[in-house]
Amino acid sequence: MEHGGLRYQTRQHFGGSSSKSRKRLSGQCWVSKAFETHRRRISLGGGYHHVSGGSSTDVLEQLFEIRLSAVGSNKRRAEECVVAFWRDYLADVEEQEGPFGGILAFATGANDIPPLGFFPLPSVVFLHELPLRQDRHLPTTNTCINCLQLPVLNKFEDFKETMDFALKNTQGFGQE
C-alpha cells in the first residue's frame, strides 16, 4: 500500500475503512445529509422530476407540484379555480411568446431547468389571506425552497394582471 496515496491518507486521518468513516460522520454535516437524500432519490428512480418535451406550457405544468387543501374544503374549491387560471395564464404566455424564463426565474431564481432538476422540486401553494397593510394580492415566491405562492382571485383578468405585474417588476435577482 502506498503511504502517500489519497486512500491511505484518508484512512489514517479518519481511522479505518470508508464505511466506518461514513458511520462516524453521518449526521454531522448538512452536506452529507443532502448528498444522502440525493443518492436515495436517484436510487428510488423518480425522485428528480424529469420533464418530457412538448410545449413550454406542458413543461412548466409538469415541473410544478400543485399543493391543494383538503378535498371538500372551501379553500380547495377556490384553489382549483386558481389552478385553471394558472394553466390558462401559461397558455396565454406561450401564445404571445412571453416570459417563460421569467416565470421560472421568478419562482425558482433559475433561468433554465438545471440538468439534474430542482431540489427541492418547485411547488405552487395558494395565498388566501392578505398580508397586513396590503390592499391587493400579488404572487410571491420563496426561491430557497422553489415555492410559488399564487393569490386566490375570482377572475382570470385579475389573476393575469397580478401575474404580469409581478413578472414585469421583478427581474430575477437583477438579471436581465
Element (H, E) at 48: none
Cβ atoms of 83 and 152 within 8 Å: the answer is no
Cβ atoms of 122 and 112 within 8 Å: the answer is no
- Which of the following is catalytic: 29, 81, 144, 147? 144
Q: Has 147 been annotated as catalytic?
A: no
* Amino acid in the structure at residue 174: G
**How far apart (Å, rounded) are the C-alpha atoms in residues 136 and 151?**
9
**How far apart (Å, rounded) are the C-alpha atoms in residues 90 and 37?**
32
Q: Is 35 left (phi over 0), alpha (psi -120 to 50) or beta?
A: alpha
Catalytic residues: 144
